[in-house]
Structure 1
Amino acid sequence: MNAEPYLKFLVEEIHSVIFATIDTQGHPLTCAIDLMDHDAHGLYFLTATGKSFYHRLKRDGHIALSGMKGKDTLSCISISLQGQAREIGTARLPRLFALNPYMEKIYPTEASRRALTVFCIEQGSGEWFDLSKSPIKRASFAFGDIAPKTSGYFVSDTCTGCGRCLPLCPQQCVDVFNDKAVIEQAHCLHCGNCMQACPFDAVTFLK
């Protein structure tokens, strides 16, 4: 699936996201970062070279991030992704400041921007999750020459179509066709009720 609408939503609608990186002991650390631009090559953000976040990125460019937009839980759209970030230097700084003029209040002079550098998330796979829809809507995407990750609950050929899973689905996204249960992946919450209820072990979870 084309990732551009999701990258655009991350930058223009969510903008401030929570990044996760790993410290020297292998423990996860999070921080809030603004996603400032996107194009066919990926997502762009900046940081200062004196920050611990910068040094974690240089040790290991693997990142994960999550962001959401909405006034409350049932109006929320969230996007999560994991990927690889690479430092690309300062050439893109003028564009990021032009697109995000509030940065001039944080770093008001050219001299104060000497420590800034830009990173690009060049590869990533993620998921769009929309709780404002009923049933919920989810979609996977990827960019940077990698395939979207497939995860969720799937029904094997050992299904007899008994229907025991149907009333347990909170989003009513399971139906029976040709004597076999079918899960509508775009509306599945990944709660696992169907797998727990199946007497024939016909439902499997793909991580």
Structure 2
Amino acid sequence: MTAQECLKYIVKELHTVVFSTVDEKGYPVTCAIDMMDGDESSLYFLTARGKQFFSRLKANRHIAFTALRGKDTLSSIAVSVQGEAKELGSGRVEDLFQKNSYMYEIYPTRQSREALTVFQIYRGRGEWFDLSKKPIERFDFSFGEASRKQEGYVITRKCIHCGVCSQTCPQQCIDVAAGVIRQQNCPHCGNCYRRCPVKAVERRGRGDTE
């Protein structure tokens, strides 16, 4: 998977996401938002200026969302994104309506659409998590101006190849002989990190603040 493929999947296949912002006290607030368009480096959605959601976006550009598709847990694909959003104004409202014609049922007149404004998620990091695969499949991606963040666990040169980590791995994604964790299948559970007798497993991504 590429970042561009993930963005396209969000717009075309998931579309409605559970979106998180924070209120004036710093408490999290969620709502359902439709991702109406995307390109190689960003996502686009809209909202009405009179909504509290709009006020929260204007007060704090940092956002997060998650969406899930599947008939049950073991057939699901989840995509999560953390990023930053900025207001673009009303210039693309009609374009987004043409691409998402159901919106004409909600705001049927040009006058009613004057309340709307478009936001762009211009930078973000995300995770693709596919539980329908055996072993599970994950992919970390970034888009826009964000750098890719390395997370998960790695085996260092301290490894004595005892096999304890492999025995505790729920997805059997550790090659003991090579001392390698297959990152695309790792569930990030931390069993290998906690159980390694010589502390040869290190956790990546701790302390990142960007």
Query: What's 1:105 paired with?
Result: 105
CA contact (8 A) 2:122 2:145 kept: no
Give me the whole-angstrom Cα distance separating, in 1, the residues matched to 2:49 and 2:180: 51
- Give the letter aligned to residue 67 of structure 1: A
- Give the letter aligned to residue 137 of structure 1: E
1:204 aligns with 2:191: no
Alpha-carbon distance, 1:41 to partner = 4.1
Alpha-carbon distance, 1:146 to partner = 2.3
Structure 1 unaligned spans of 5+: none
Give me the whole-angstrom Cα distance separating, in 1, the residues matched to 2:72 and 2:129: 14
For 1:58-207, list aligned pairs within 5 A: 58-178=58-178, 181-207=179-205
Give me the whole-angstrom Cα distance separating, in 2, the residues matched to 1:63 and 1:98: 26
> Which stretches of structure 1, 4 residues or longer, exceed 3 Å deviation after superposition?
none
SS at match of 2:153: strand
Alpha-carbon distance, 1:192 to partner = 0.9
Superposition CA RMSD, Å: 1.1
CA contact (8 A) 2:81 2:125 kept: yes
- Give the letter aligned to residue 202 of structure 1: A
Give me the whole-angstrom Cα distance separating, in 2, the residues matched to 1:182 and 1:39: 35
- Give the letter aligned to residue 189 of structure 2: C
How many percent of aligned residue pairs carry the same amino acid?
A: 53
Query: What's 2:38 paired with?
Result: 38
Deviation per CA, 1:86-121: give whole Å up to 9, x if none: 000111111111111111111111111111000000
Give me the whole-angstrom Cα distance separating, in 1, the residues matched to 2:12 and 2:119: 18
Give me the whole-angstrom Cα distance separating, in 2, the residues matched to 1:5 and 1:47: 25
Give me the whole-angstrom Cα distance separating, in 2, the residues matched to 1:13 and 1:37: 12
Structure 2 unaligned spans of 5+: 206-210
SS at match of 1:165: helix
Count residues with an aligned counterpart. 205
